[in-house]
Structure 1
Amino acid sequence: MINKIKIINEIIDYIENHLYENLSIDDISKVMNYSKYYLHRLFSNIVGVTIHDYINRRRLTESAEFLVFTDKPIIEIALNSGYESQQAFSNAFKDMYKISPKKFRERKSFYPLQLRFFIGKDFINLKYEIFTPEDIDIVSKDDIEKCMDLVKLVVDGFPGFEQAQYMESLIEHIQNKEAFIIKYNDNAIAVMFYSIQKGNIDFLAVHPKYNKREILITFISKIFNDLSSNREMISITTFREGDKADRGYRELLLALGFIESDLLTEFGYPTQKMILKRKGFEELL
């Protein structure tokens, strides 16, 4: 495992150092001296996204930051980001951010699609573990840094995510005792904000090394059996159908019995509300 982590970190270092160049998995394969099939599989399994998608998301994230915090012309940002034309850049940007680069700049609100993925030495201790509702604790102020570390790994799952808004929401949910965490070896494996009064999962993040489906089931079991034992239905929002920024979150919810509900716009981003009935969840188990 240590060698695999070393390989992943070297791939990421190489990508970050050549982010605005014409990068391909073939190029990376030659530099790393491993087959592209092996690197593709290894990277996808650990990072949770293909090398190609990681590069694309990182480029668009950096471009979005330039749009908000600099006055550089959009055509310059486009070409510097590796796109052949402003139109190609605008199309790719709109696919992921849902608005044009021009409107994104005018809104003056930056949020990332993909932050640099980092694997620390403690990652070697992470294993696939079976967690139960008894492993879920209430988040304390001492857990804030752990929660932030997790969010940086899974920021792709939250359309319109802004760190300041997340921190504000985290503090509020901690105060209301509505923030929950699963920890392993002092790492945050999963974090959930759940509004008991509204019956809504406001936020749910799972470490990419762990089984999202099983941990989501663990949290939902906690909700129906403990936090909201009299509630017959809960809700969550996710990507709309066909959103290219979605890395499988919507499909996961549907597979667990969630049903499509209202189309929404949150933080300027088009999302959809999904609902789960207690009966449907119990039948799944």
Structure 2
Amino acid sequence: MHGQSVSIVSQAIRYIEDHLDKKLDLETVAAALHYSKYHLHRIFAKIVGLTVHEYVQRRQLTEAAKLLAFSKRSIMEIALSSGYESQQAFTSSFKAMYKMTPAEFRTAEEFYPLQLEIHLSKEPTKMDFTKDDIQFATVEDINDWMELVQLTIDGYPRLDEVDYMEKLSFYIADKRALILRDEGMVIGIMGFSTETRSIDFLAVHPQYRNAGIEKVFLDKLADELLTGKEISLTTYREGDKADTGYREKYLRLGFAERELLTEYGYPTQRFVLPPKDKEEV
């Protein structure tokens, strides 16, 4: 049954990708595929981790940002080709996600994606992972690692892929890059710093977001690699429209809010997980 759901969602994604220049909503996509919109909404959100509306909006704004950065088309033209009926509505949505107006984004000339096309794989074969399943990444894992980064781009505000790749090589060499696979497919990755005791990047495959994999990585870190240490990470600020649920997830895992930051020009907030050994804070 799950395999059938993956097939349906893949069809929905394909339809969306082929019609990004049109006004799209759940009802339109469901009707095109001849599925119940309620059924499609449920399985799409479960498998992708985003609703159809969220996926469409993020994909259309990403393509709009690309046009702003690399074309000379007018903002009004880009707005219409992104499914918006007015420049005002487009500007409002764009600023909520990119933290600047379309005109300011064009002037900055620094493109980064909110959401890339999601390619779903086979259905999960295992959901009961433990920290013993996690391994240190090697250089042979880099291509598969980056494929997962592409799938989870929503968790990387202002990702500079070139800079990320350079850092990843150092993390792998220093044994600060962890990876989790399910029958060969990379489903979880984590890069951490022993000096700052921070998680510098963490991602889980969309199809495994309900498998508790973040907790498994945290157990590996707290029990074996940063034992007795306070662990921190940064994520979206409260109310950020670009957040697809990361703040809520980290709070559920026991992280506490700390100071507001700005990283690579993007507003973020530091979160802290108290050590399992309460003596060190």
Q: TM-score, normalised by structure 2?
A: 0.93
**CA drift at 1:212:** 5.6
**CA drift at 1:230:** 4.3
* Separation in structure 2 between the aligned mates of residue 281 and residue 166 of structure 1, nearest angstrom: 34
Amino acid at match of 1:132: T
Aligned to 2:97: 96
Q: Determine helix, strand or coil for the equivalent of 1:236.
A: strand
Residue 198 of structure 1 pairs with residue 196 of structure 2: yes
Do the aligned partners of 1:43 and 1:51 also contact (CA within 8 Å) in 2? yes
**CA drift at 1:5:** 2.5
* Separation in structure 2 between the aligned mates of residue 194 and residue 275 of structure 1, nearest angstrom: 14
Question: Of residues 225, 228, 234 in structure 1, which corresponds to 2:226?
Answer: 228
In the comparison of the two structures, how many residue pairs are matched? 278
Unaligned runs of 5+ in 2: none
* Separation in structure 1 between the aligned mates of residue 143 and residue 204 of structure 2, nearest angstrom: 15
**CA drift at 1:241:** 0.4
Deviates more, 1:98-107 or 1:44-53: 98-107
Can you list the C-alpha shifts for 1:85-134, whole angstroms capped at 9, x where unaligned?
A: 222111100111111112212222111111111123xx13x234222221
Question: Of residues 174, 177, 189 in structure 2, which corresponds to 1:176?
Answer: 174
Aligned to 1:80: 81
Do the aligned partners of 1:236 and 1:273 also contact (CA within 8 Å) in 2? yes
Do the aligned partners of 2:23 and 2:84 also contact (CA within 8 Å) in 1? no
Do the aligned partners of 2:228 and 2:276 also contact (CA within 8 Å) in 1? no
Residue 269 of structure 1 pairs with residue 270 of structure 2: no
**CA drift at 1:159:** 1.1
Unaligned runs of 5+ in 1: none
Can you list the C-alpha shifts for 1:140-162, whole angstroms capped at 9, x where unaligned?
A: 01111111111111111111112
Aligned to 1:38: 39
Identity %: 46
Q: TM-score, normalised by structure 1?
A: 0.92
User: 1:1-285, aligned counterparts within 5 Å?
Assistant: 1-120=2-121, 123-124=122-123, 126-211=124-209, 214-231=212-229, 233-279=230-276
Q: Determine helix, strand or coil for the equivalent of 2:195.
A: coil
Q: Determine helix, strand or coil for the equivalent of 2:10.
A: helix
Structure 1 residues 25 and 212, CA, compared in 2 at 3 Å: closer, same or farther?
closer
Q: Determine helix, strand or coil for the equivalent of 1:237.
A: strand
Structure 1 segments (4+ residues) deviating >6 Å: none
Deviates more, 1:250-259 or 1:55-64: 250-259
Amino acid at match of 1:254: L
Structure 1 residues 105 and 281, CA, compared in 2 at 3 Å: closer, same or farther?
farther
Amino acid at match of 1:192: M
* Separation in structure 1 between the aligned mates of residue 26 and residue 213 of structure 2, nearest angstrom: 32
